[in-house]
Amino acid sequence: MFGGNAPDPEELRRALGEMGGPGAGFTGVPGSSMPGAGGQGGMPGMPGGLPFDPSMMNPEMMGQMMQQFQAMMQSSPEDGPVNWSLARQAARQASAGQDPSVGTFARREIEEALRLAELWLDGVTEIESPGILGVAWSRAEWVEATMDNWRAMTEPVAVAMAEAMSRALSEQLPDQVPEEMRGMLGGLGPMLQNMGGTVFGLQLGSAIGALSQEVLSGTDSMFPVAGHRLAMVPVNIEEFGDGLQVPDDQIRIYLALREAARMRLFMRSSWLERDLRAAIEQYASGIHIDVAGIEEAARSVDPMNPESMQEALSGGMFIPEPTGPQKAALERLELTLALIEGWVDVVVTEAAKPLESNAALRETINRRRASGGPAEHAFGTLVGLDLRPRRLREAATLWELIGREKGTEYRDAIWSDPSLQPTAEDLDDPSGYFARREEQEKASQSMDDELRRLLEGGYDDGPQGGTSPQG
């Protein structure tokens, strides 16, 4: 039916039972209407929606059904344990619906907002514009442009979850199949092995697709998932502005300022993106999947009710509490995100002074960032990562203090080296930042002096050599 290509998620949903929603869940309710079921529940394709009865299907029909399931469950070799091809298609489908293509007028509005944002930022930060052209994307275009980066960020977690799910299903599911059908399971080994990757691929793809309906720009997730491009999503910006009672052009300019400010930071500090990814990789490397919990959940799966599979195998519930090293990685990630967003908040607030709605938009964005949207929560549950900067306001307070006391040049120069980054202690006590920074600089200078003396032979023993480090 599908040849060698990845299956259409809609076909998969139709075969397994209606699925959808921000968490990529099976939303069909047992006994409810399903395609081809006549509104009475039961197996798709059965006349009048009658409950599934294996005796009504001859061996040829059953063989065709099993071949179809196998084709849908297969991953391509480059996918690995997770069906990333299906994840991409699920993301595209979840982003569809009210997703108009970006017209010429909307594109021009975005380009003009980004150009103006760059001019305003030039007056408030020493970090120069990278000179990147802006783009306006539909939701589907955002999915296509960011999917590879989402894969890179989530793959360690996704692979572990998919393998654990598949192993549990292949061991437990045969016991849950009606006795009259067990003889047909002999050829389903590959399907069962890939089922975990298929289920998780659908979950993750649908979560990313749901995110595409919330994100406002390429860096709105606080990661440059769209690459080094200034990108905005006009349809989401329009929906974001509904009910705000703020002129549309002011909303576009304010959001363009935030996008351009983040991109200046990422392009100026090449180490920043690398450190963020390293923290995620360190967290992922310590993940231990609760295999026993998945096996226990698999025992409750009803093969004739796909919804029970989704409920039993919800990804995040099988990721235990973080270990010590994982907590350290999460704390470093949270601190870095807070510093990024705090700096962006301060710089954009200064640059956006010509906008009458500056203060209102700032508060709206900060509340949105603090609470997160439904799709963001669904994504976090799946991979166990909460990407929200909990200490944004403390970070903004620190950056405001630094800029006020030392000026923008001093403030922005801090991003030139990762060793200069403020610490969690600095967020706790902003007023003591300068004293701690001075002590750090003295210690660093002392170490440099000691190294220089060592290299110049200042520690050599002898009549003129002074005292060696060993005394």
Q: Do residues 148 and 227 touch, judged by C-beta distance below 8 A?
A: no
The domain segmentation of the chain, as residue ranges, is 9-30+79-177+187-333+373-383, 429-471
Q: What is the pLDDT of residues 97-109, one digit of tens each?
A: 788 899 999 999 9
Please give the full DSSP string across 259-302, using - where no structure is assigned. Answer: HHHHHHHHHH-HHHHHHHHHHHHHHHHT----HHHHHHHHTT--
Distance between CA atoms of residues 240 and 369, nearest Å: 13
Question: Could you give the angle at which helices 139-176 and 270-285 cross, rounded to 10 degrees?
Answer: 10
Distance between CA atoms of residues 72 and 273, nearest Å: 36
Instruction: Evaluate if residue 457 carries a pLDDT over 80.
Output: no
CATH superfamily of 9-30+79-177+187-333+373-383: Zincin-like metallopeptidase, N-terminal domain (1.20.150.30)
Q: Do residues 318 and 294 touch, judged by C-beta distance below 8 A?
A: yes
Both tokens assigned to 330: 């999460």
What confidence score (pLDDT) does residue 326 get?
81
More confident residue, 59 or 381: 381
Q: What is the pLDDT of residues 139-195, one digit of tens each?
A: 999 999 999 888 887 777 777 767 766 666 666 666 655 555 555 555 555 555 567
What confidence score (pLDDT) does residue 471 get?
40
Q: Which residues contact 75 (CB under 8 A, 6 or more apart)?
A: 81, 82, 83, 84, 85, 86, 194, 197, 198, 201
